[in-house]
Structures are given as structure tokens and as C-alpha cells.
Chains A and B, each alone.
Chain A
Amino acid sequence: MAQNVSASHTEEVSSTRRVIAASSVGTLIEWYDFYIFGSLAKIISEQFFPKDNPTAALLATLATFAAGFVVRPFGALFFGRLGDLIGRKYTFLVTLVIMGGSTFVIGLVPGYAQIGFWAPAIVFVLRLLQGLALGGEYGGAATYVAEHSPDNQRGYWTSFIQTTATFGLFISLGVILAVRQTLGLETFNDWGWRVPFLLSIFLVGVSVFIRMKMSESPLFAKLKKEGKTSANPLAESFQKKDNLKMVLLALLGATAGQGVVWYTGQFYALSFLQNACNVEFVQSNIIISIALVIGTPFFVIFGSLSDKIGRKWIMMAGMLIAVVSYRPIYTVMYDAANLKKKTEITEKTVIEHKAEVKGTDSLKTTITKKVFTDGTTFKETKKEKFPVDPAAKAALPKDKLKPETKKETVLPQDIFMKMIGLVFIQVIFVTMVYGPIAAFLVELFPTRIRYTSMSLPYHIGNGVFGGLVPLISTRLVEATRPGPDLPPSDPLAGLWYPILIAAVSCVIGVLYMKNRPTAIETE
């Protein structure tokens, strides 16, 4: 008897692990697909969206923003409804195929030079399909895992889904760097950038194969058998007051704050290192990558902890600590790389000048290299391009003659480690707000409309509120610039947007949300 119970328990655990693995791998691949487009944005722009063609440039902007802001929530509604009507398993299989297919085809589309306007138009449509698929994937995976999990371990099991967004970012960076290193920069820029896109089809193939073998969520299967599924999940989710109030609570009290903390801790930190601190490209990416790797297990730790002490206070604590500590953390980051606070070893300063003529243009390059007493090195490359003909040069507007300046700071080991620590702290905030959120969202809504109801607030919170962090934060910093060529008076001004959103979200969450997990089978 005892042996039978033990065997049954082992089988149950193994089955749950299979469910989590199948769901997490698929979601991880979807995030990977979504991020490689962003990570390769510069090359994609050169290949498909030439700046001198205004329509193509407009499509590039729309592709960047529309996929995140408009299409993701729309995908959440479309696939959420489908998931509540026909089932979780087939719906998130469809999103996976759409995502993988779109990504693969992006890798095959000929460039603007070969097929003209069709190139940006096709890539634009494929990018929209990616956003649509992503909008449908997360809710399906989270719901599917949650509906297989025992009540007292839902935070733990769903937290594996929560690691996929961060891992997806990490893997996309890793694959791109590996392909670039293997093929060399020139080949990579020529055709090698297509490899990470093409690779997606194999990953998706494996994931689809695994998912095909999985059975439908037991809770949904039971509802379907009893004929209790919703006939109109959209109307039930958003037209019925009792459910709409929970959707709004999820959005304002949880996902909006989570979205800005998530984007600030990962994307804004990278952008701040590169643009405000001028930390060199590879070093800044390594700082973020190490912090992400060390921080990722905390998604599971906080997810698991939420099963014991409740979801609310972990998420609210993450938001509150982020609100009060963002400015101090970023001040330390800024000061650690601030060259004005370092002592230059002037005898080691090197200035190189290079002049060449390319066609009708003259290219003048000035490279300044500096070394500081703490081991920091700095390189500034200034490129001036102007017509050789003095009359043509005089006819050009002033802004066309402005030199292109690139600043790169390489930090010494101790400051490098300090930066990793500071980004790691932010990743911890991310894991606090994001680790328990899937379980929290799942428990807010009834099984019959769960997929639809949880997907929309998640993608508005993450995609719109979070996705706007880079854009709004950059604008806030720019607003403190006293003149076009002067540095911003407050390089930390960009933090006010995530601080404000997270603060409002935290107050709403503290006042209106409940703490204890709910048993979803007995609703």
C-alpha cells in the first residue's frame, strides 16, 4: 500500500515536471524569438529599413512599437479567447508555431537591395505576427502549468515559467555573440545575422513535438466535459463588473508596477550603462548577463516563498524597495563610471589623427585614449565627414557637419564587479515582483475565462507600461539637457517614470489586494 502511494506520488511529480518543462521550453523559445529581433535591430534596420526611404523608416518605427504595445494585448485577447473556448494546449501550440514560423521566415526574407519595398513590408507583417503570438503564449503557459499544480505549490511551479523571459533574453544575447564570434563580424553583418532566426525553427520543432504529447489541462478538460466552458470569454471577462474589477486590480495593483520594475532592472540598466556611463558594448553586456544568471534562481525562490507567506507582500516589497532605492543605486552606478571623479594619468594620454578621402568626401578621424589612476580606460572616436570641395562644404547645413562621436569606457575589475552587484540588486527586485505574479494572476480568475482575463492585464502591464520605459525615460533625460550639445543636468531623470508607476501600483496593491493564495479548483 505504502509502495503504491509512493509510486503514485513519484509519477505525479514526474508528470508535473514534464508539464513545466514542456511549457517553459516553448515560452523560452518565444521570448528568444522576440528578443533576437530587438537585439539585431541595427542590422535589420540596415537590411530592411533604409533610413533614406521615409516609408521604410516609418515601418521600422511601427514594427518596433506596434509589436510591443498594440499587437501583444491584441494577441492576448485573441488567443486568450481561443484558449478559453477550445483549450489551453492547442492554443499555445498555435502561438508557438506562429512565433517560430515568423522568426524563421524573417531569416529568409531578401533584403531591401534585392526586392525593394516588399522587404520592409514583409518583415513588418512578420514582426506583428511575433507580437501577436507572444501575446497569446504567456497566459497559456502560465494557466496550463497553474492548472496542473497543487494549490500549495502553485507559486513554485509557475515560477519556472517566470524565468523564461530573462533566460530568453540571455540566450538570445548568447546565440548572437556566439554566431558573431564564429563567423566573424563581416560575415555576420553580411548574412550571419540570419542564423539566429533560422535556428528558431529547430527549437520550435522540438518544443512542438514535446507539447503535442502533453494532455489538456485537467481543470479545463473537466469544464469542457461538463459543458461549463464559457461561450463568450471576452464578454464575461470585460463586461461583467465582478471580473472587470479584478482585471483592473491586476493591471493597476500588480502588472503595471511589475512591468516597469522588470524593464528597468534589465533593459534600462543596460541602456544606462551604455549611454549614460559610456561603458563599452561587450563589457556592459557581460555585466548584465552575469547579473541575470546569478539572479535568475531567485524567480523560483520568491515563487516558492509566495506559497508560504502569500504573493502580495513579496511583490509589494519588491516594488517599494525599487521605488526607494532606484535613485541611490543609479547614483552609485553613474559615479563609479564618472570620469570627472577620476584622476587622469596625463602622460599616458594618446591622441591619433587619421584623414582619408572616400569618393567626393573627406573623412577625418580623431581617436583620444585616456588612462585613469583607478585602472579605468577611456576611448573617444570622433569622425568628421565633409565634401572635399570647399564650396559644397560651405553649402551644407551646420548639423550635417557635426562630428559623430563614440565614447567607450572600460572599467577596471573592482568597478566591473561593483556594477554587476548593482545590477544584480535590481534583478532581485525583478524576481520579487515577477516570480509570484503568474500564480497571483491565475488565482484571480475562474477557470472558464482565466486565459483571457489574465493575459490582457499582463500584456498591458508588461508590454505597454514596461515597454515604454526606454522611450519615456530617454525623453525625461533629454528634457534636462540645457542645450543640444550639452550633457543632461540630471542623467537619472529617466527613473522618475518607473518610480512613479511602481509607487502608484504599490499603493493600490497594498490597499486592495489580498495576500493569501486561493485554491483554484474550488472556485
Chain B
Amino acid sequence: MSAIQKIMGIVWAAMGVGIVPLAIRQAMTEIAKKPSEENWIFWSIVIVVLMPIIAFSLITFGVFALKGEYDDIN
């Protein structure tokens, strides 16, 4: 179980890192395609609120998992 937890730690951290450029690129494309106020508000919420929370928590959690911080919980 511990090995799987550690391997999956890499996956979580990679997801956290990957989501940043992905979300920013998507936001820029969508806003360029249709620069409406509605679009700005939606992508601002995604980039300013949701993305940082997902990225920070997944990266930190992934690193903790990789270091075996959760081994003693079960």
C-alpha cells in the first residue's frame, strides 16, 4: 500500500503542476474567442480561485505522499 501511495504521490503532484499552464492557456483561448464580460468573470474565477487551490493542494499533497508522510495513518 505504501508503495502505491508514494507512486500516486507523483501523479498528484504532476496533475497539480500540469493544471496551471492548461488552465491559463484555455482561459486565454476562450477569452480571445469571445471577450464578453461573462467569459471574463468565469475564467477569472477559475484562474484566481479554483486553479491555485487545486494546484497548491495537489502539489503539496503529492510531495507529502511521495515522502511517505501518510504511511503512518493506516
A: residues with CB less than 8 A from B are 61, 65, 69-70, 241, 244-245, 248-249, 251-252, 460, 464, 468, 471, 475, 507-508, 511-514
Tell me how many residue pairs across A and B have CB atoms closer than 8 Å.
49
Q: Is the CB of B45 within 8 A of A512?
A: no
Who on chain A is nearest to B71 by CB? A512
Task: Tell me the interface secondary structure of chain B in the complex.
Answer: helix
Interface flags for B51-74 (1: CB within 8 Å of A; 0: not) read 001000110110011000110011
B: residues with CB less than 8 A from A are 1, 4-5, 8, 12, 41-42, 45, 49-50, 53, 57-58, 60-61, 64-65, 69-70, 73-74
Task: Say whether, besides A248-B64, A512-B5, A512-B70, A475 and B57 are in contact (CB < 8 Å).
Answer: no
A512 vs B64: C-alpha distance in the bound complex, in angstroms?
11
Q: Is the CB of B73 within 8 A of A512?
A: yes
Query: What 7 A-B pairs have minimum CB-CB distances, sorted nearest first?
Result: A248-B61, A512-B70, A245-B64, A245-B69, A514-B74, A514-B73, A69-B49
Given contacts A468-B45, A511-B5, 4 further A-B contacts (CB under 8 A): A245-B61, A252-B12, A468-B50, A512-B73
A464 vs B42: C-alpha distance in the bound complex, in angstroms?
13
A236 vs B5: C-alpha distance in the bound complex, in angstroms?
26
Q: Is the CB of A475 within 8 A of B42?
A: yes
Can you list 7 A-B pairs with a CB-CB distance of less than 8 A? A61-B41, A69-B45, A241-B64, A245-B61, A249-B61, A252-B58, A471-B45
Who on chain A is nearest to B64 by CB? A245
Shortest distance between the CB of B17 and any CB in chain A (Å): 15
Contacts of B64 in A (CB 8 A): 241, 245, 248
A184 vs B58: C-alpha distance in the bound complex, in angstroms?
51
Contacts of B8 in A (CB 8 A): 507, 511
Task: Say whether, besides A245-B70, A249-B70, A70 and B4 are in contact (CB < 8 Å).
Answer: no
A512 vs B61: C-alpha distance in the bound complex, in angstroms?
11
Q: Is the CB of A252 within 8 A of B50?
A: no
Checking A65, A251, A468, A512 against B57 with a beta-carbon cut-off of 8 angstroms, the contacting residue is: A251
A61 vs B41: C-alpha distance in the bound complex, in angstroms?
9
